[in-house]
Structure 1
């Protein structure tokens, strides 16, 4: 796996890189936010470890612009521990976050968990979703990590892809936020269920960009979400 680490604290960046390399990754380290997107375009990595506070261009701006052309998985590093800042990071398109101070081993574990998700999905029942009649017009290819709606490509993050596949695999079923968290974050760590709301918001926006009349993910008050298409 090729990992791009964008972190302006040299000692921290080197520490994270050393642990990732020990886990078998090839690591490129960048200390300036303005260099991040050109590096992704020049040689796309398998995942980006992205600090929130960077010189030149901050992590949120990088993540938002990245999502305009790539579904590259992003692990956000942040010293802002307030819940609203965590959700802002997820809303920008980050797949996961780690709060400073952190153990480098935790970063390695999160990176591995993010990169495992599409492969786990390919072996799950949701991988055969494209044949489901209730989801006519929606096609998901878990092995290629490709999604289409009415013939138009959907640029989804791995987490958004997993969320959509989970909901669409059982149209009409109501999933609680806890159930969705369990399926999206198989490492069983604690997250606020409000994180699910943020991911659903992003997913709805991408679906409606293809067809503004669609509202396939329905909110069930006090319970969770249901897929209808």
Structure 2
């Protein structure tokens, strides 16, 4: 079994210790950071497979930490927030967080979210992965399902775990129209309260990364009044 390392960044010692205890029960190796600067310091000097990041921390907030991590890594990021305002959640997702959960939270729900994100990110060859399907290729876009990498117009594109899952789902069903609700339920697996804005934010981020002209997308197209569909020429 591979050694999966998780970084937990939260200025509340009790929360760090609680998350560490439960994640270590799942056989994860866990490091803790008490503020944003310490989190960045640890991340730059170690290899982590997952980051749990509090939104409000001293010295550097979770938003800035998330931005810095996303500058050179696409590891899954689960954002913790004591703020229940929708804007905070949308902003967190728009800068690259894969999921969020609002305090106070159920520790079992956090562990379940971590495990779900890790399964999708690591691509460990679980029962849901068809071993004969190694990639999806369209003209101008290649999705490698084994290495979790994407190329657009021949250039490597860094996607978050959720962005990758959303793109993979759409590209696996070319021409089929999905509502935001259907995308949410299939990609996020109903892991938290349904939220149209979550889907829209990720669609917008994906278009910026894979489309030559995000305002006139060739791959992820809007079907007005219904939802989205994937269009492309298979190779």
TM above 0.5, yes or no, is: yes
Describe how 1:70-219 pairs up with structure 2 within 5 A.
70-118=73-121, 119=123, 123=129, 127-131=133-137, 135-186=138-189, 188-208=191-211, 211-212=212-213, 215=217, 216-219=219-222
Indicate the structure with greater helix content. Answer: 1
List alignment gaps of at least 5 residues for structure 2.
Answer: none
Change (3 A) 1:43 1:96: same
Would you identify which runs of 4 or more consecutive aligned residues in structure 1 move more than 4 Å? 124-129
Aligned positions, number? 224
Aligned with 1:24 (options 23, 27, 41): 27
2: CA distance, partners of 1:121 / 1:206: 30
Distance 1:55 1:97, change over 3 A: same
Alpha-carbon distance change, 144 to 122 in structure 1, aligned in 2, over 3 angstroms: farther
Following TM superposition, by how much is the alpha carbon of 1:171 offset from its aligned partner in structure 2, in angstroms? 2.1
User: Hey, what's the Cα distance between the residues in 2 that align with 1:184 and 1:22?
Assistant: 27
TM-score, normalised by the number of residues in structure 1 = 0.90
In structure 1, runs of 5+ residues without a counterpart are none
Q: Per-residue displacement from partner, 1:156-195 (whole Å, max 9, x unpaired)?
A: 0111001111111222221111111122112553221221
Contact 1:127-1:141 at 8 Å conserved across structures? no
Corresponding residue for residue 57 of structure 2: 54
For residue 9 of structure 1, report the CA deviation from its aligned partner: 0.7
Deviation at 1:40, TM superposition (A): 1.7
The offset of 1:66, in angstroms, is 1.6
RMSD value, Cα: 2.1
d(CA) in 1 for partners of 2:140, 2:167: 14
